[in-house]
Structure 1
């Protein structure tokens, strides 16, 4: 019985406290302030000018941040493809050099160097082609595509057993496209 009585007192206290809080809120919100319900025509032009300047500065700031973001994305895309070209082309050139060395020495194991050279060239070409994005500037994009085409052409020259003159011309072209692309890459850092 004592527990019920204490419980009723708590509930009653909560009800009285809630009612007092609502009443305080209503009484507090009924005060009337003086003033006129019209715009202050003297300050309105300055306010409009301030709002216009603020909106203009906000737009300019937003545009600058977006430009910085786009530049960052472009730089990152260029560096990613440059790194892909640098590492994969080095592996391809090493494999081609092993093939050329075996060819020049007329070793019986030339066939064991042909496959790895062709695979490394195609792997590099595919990796570079796969990393080219629209964010990359056209000049650099063209240099990357030249490498891709040159690597595939060199792979075809190896598998087609091109003669020495044709093969040397293909290799020279491949070296030139690699040098050009890496030179353009160096300029991005």
Structure 2
């Protein structure tokens, strides 16, 4: 029986050099089950919402109004999950004494800057597993709470790089540690 050699996989993140700065660019992880299921669910969910709005205008019902509020939240969650997986991503860079983390998707962009002098305990983390619902989690809703890079910032633990595996997170922690002051890794 022949033994097949396993190729060493490349990482998903890219380090981009732009002039005087470097940044880590991380595309969103695509889950093909979610991307095939959610558009169908969203179409049926939209149809249900249209029927409910029609019924609400025909005869006002408080229950239906409350249900439509939940319907809208479900619709936004499904649409944002699709948008994140198709077009979203994260960037991480160190510049001017700040660690800057941004998440972007269509119609949504969030960028936070952390004072590098206040960062402690920079380390890799395992990130969420498939069974913890990782395929449906997006930084649009869980910003700073999931990811394979973590650090302590004051009394809060910050997570980044939600679309990566633990091994790649370890590589990026090493990359970041070389660019942060020595106190950040402690």
Query: Under a length normalisation based on structure 1, what TM-score does the superposition of the two structures give?
Result: 0.27
Higher Cα Rg, which structure? 1
Query: Under a length normalisation based on structure 2, what TM-score does the superposition of the two structures give?
Result: 0.27
